[in-house]
Structure 1
Amino acid sequence: MIDEKYLLSAIAKGDTSAFKILYDHYYPIVHRFASQLVPSKSMAQDVVQDVMIVVWEKGRELHRVENIESYIKSIAKRKVIDLIRRDIRFKKYEQHRSCAEVELSEALIATIYLKETNEHLNNGIALLPKQQQLVYRMCHQQYLKYEEVAAKLGISKGTVHKHMKLALKFLRDYLRKYVILSMIMDVIWNL
């Protein structure tokens, strides 16, 4: 048995040897108590260390403590709660960060594919016969209606429609080859 009142009084005066006696006596008690509340030994050790630091820092107030074991266990409970809250916040942060990284990488991949697709589309447009190219650009890039394109080029609306139909078929086939090639390259890169 240890004389708790004497130890608490000595610790209140800054006596490190008294604190060591208290520490050695209560370490296994607090560790067992914390081990029942936290999932790992290392977390229990962290709780004990935090509790003992609080006890040392509260030194001058310890002379008012009636039951040191209850006092230490109440500190341990608060430290366990703090540790669990911190662990939950960290896990939420990690989960959020992981989701954000996935979203960022997906957005980056989508941006890269969009840029590549636009490049391939522009290459395909450049391969169209001049009249089809002109009609396509006016309809899809300048957002003109078939009637407006027909009036500007001095051709019939039916001719505009025919040029657009041929241009779109060519571009679909051209981009389909690109998509198939892209999928093949993805498979090869992931081997």
Structure 2
Amino acid sequence: MELSDLELILLWQRGENKAFEVIYKRYATRLLGIAMQKTGDRELSEEIIQDVFMCMYKQKNTVSQLSSVMAYLYVLLKNRILDAYRHQLVQRKYEDHLAYTATEVDYSTISTIETRDLEKQLCIEIEKLPPQCRTVFKLSRQQYLPNKEIAALLKISENTVEQHMRKALRLLRGSLLDYEKSLAILLFLHLRK
């Protein structure tokens, strides 16, 4: 003869743990089916069912006042599923935030690397300038001397200083333009992979 839910609960409250196992076996499969329909995730559904029965187990002393064990378990299930949805929503928001933040960091990191590479390339190209042109450029752009002081220091006219600067800038612009094109091609090829 099969015992009713109320009889099982009373036995369980008196210390008969087998009675709780019977209640578990009676409702776990049905609840799992409901949870699977709602979540679409078997592993999550199984965790939720375990949580539902753990909650019932912790409320051992108050469950005898229930009119329907299935209704009670269903309410617990519904609340746990809603908790799982909320948790997933928070997790998605966090992942979206991380993705957005990571993208910002990636762009700033790429920008920093590109700037460093460009500075290195500029130094290389400066060293390739003709000697007098290089000297004038370094005095002007690295030591910030005015043309008049550069002319006096190198014993050349200000006009010659200006000519060397124009030549240096033209040569550097040309070589860095080639570098930028190469960099753009490499970046394009990298992004296509």
TM-score normalised according to structure 2 size:
0.79
Is 1:10 matched with 2:14? Answer: no
The aligned amino acid for 1:51 is V
Q: Give distance in 2, aligned partners of 1:121 and 1:14.
A: 83
Which residue is 1:26 aligned to?
Answer: 27
- Deviation of residue 84 (structure 1)? 1.1
Which residue is 2:131 aligned to?
Answer: 130
Q: Deviations over 1:119-173 (max 9, x none)?
A: 1100111122333323323433344555665566665554443222211111111
- Deviation of residue 79 (structure 1)? 0.7
Identity of aligned residues (%): 26
- Highest RCO, 1 vs 2 (Cα 8 Å, sep ≥ 6): 1
The 3 A distance-change label for structure 1 pair 13 and 153 is: farther
Q: Give distance in 1, aligned partners of 2:81 and 2:189.
A: 50
The aligned amino acid for 1:6 is E
Which consecutive unaligned segments of at least 5 residues does structure 1 have?
none
The aligned amino acid for 1:43 is L
Describe the SS at the equivalent of 1:74: helix
Which consecutive unaligned segments of at least 5 residues does structure 2 have?
none
Q: Does structure 2 retain, via aligned residues, the 8 Å contact 1:13–1:59?
A: no
How many residue pairs align between the two structures?
191
Q: Give distance in 2, aligned partners of 1:148 and 1:59.
A: 94
TM-score normalised according to structure 1 size:
0.79
Alignment of 1:97-108 (within 5 A): 97-108=98-109
Describe the SS at the equivalent of 1:59: coil
Which residue is 2:178 aligned to?
Answer: 177
Which residue is 2:165 aligned to?
Answer: 164
Greater CA deviation, 116-125 or 80-89? 80-89
